[in-house]
């Protein structure tokens, strides 16, 4: 206790995940006086094909524009 679940869109490096675990644990120790050994944290790296925002999958929202559209726009 406490248990923290962090869902990220995309991936993070091991060092980034390690730093986040240290930061979040420190916050719960400092703010609530929790025993760090009791703080459990799970980081879930979610593929952009499985994460939606604004009604779209991030994979679609962030997909590079097809060349044709890009060319048509730039020559207008």
Interacting residue ranges for a second copy, rule: CB under 8 A: 1-9, 12, 14, 16-32, 36-46, 49-60
Q: How far is the CB of 38 from a second copy (least distance, A)?
A: 8
Q: What token pair was written down for 71?
A: 């060319």
What SS3 class is residue 65? coil
Rounded to the nearest angstrom, the gap between the alpha carbon of residue 47 and the centroid of all alpha carbons in its chain is 10
Distance from C-alpha of 75 to C-alpha of 68, rounded to nearest angstrom: 11
Nearer to a second copy, 30 or 67 (CB): 30
Nearer to a second copy, 66 or 73 (CB): 66
Nearer to a second copy, 37 or 76 (CB): 37
Q: What token pair was written down for 14?
A: 């091991």
2 carries an active-site annotation: yes
Catalytic residues: 2
């Amino acid at each position: 206790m406490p248990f923290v679940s962090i869902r990220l869109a995309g991936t993070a490096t091991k060092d980034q995940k390690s730093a986040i675990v240290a930061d979040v644990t420190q916050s719960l120790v400092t703010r609530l006086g929790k025993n760090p050994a009791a703080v459990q944290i799970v980081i879930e790296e979610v593929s952009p094909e499985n994460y939606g925002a604004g009604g779209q999958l991030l994979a679609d929202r962030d997909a590079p524009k097809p060349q044709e559209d890009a060319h048509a726009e730039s020559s207008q």
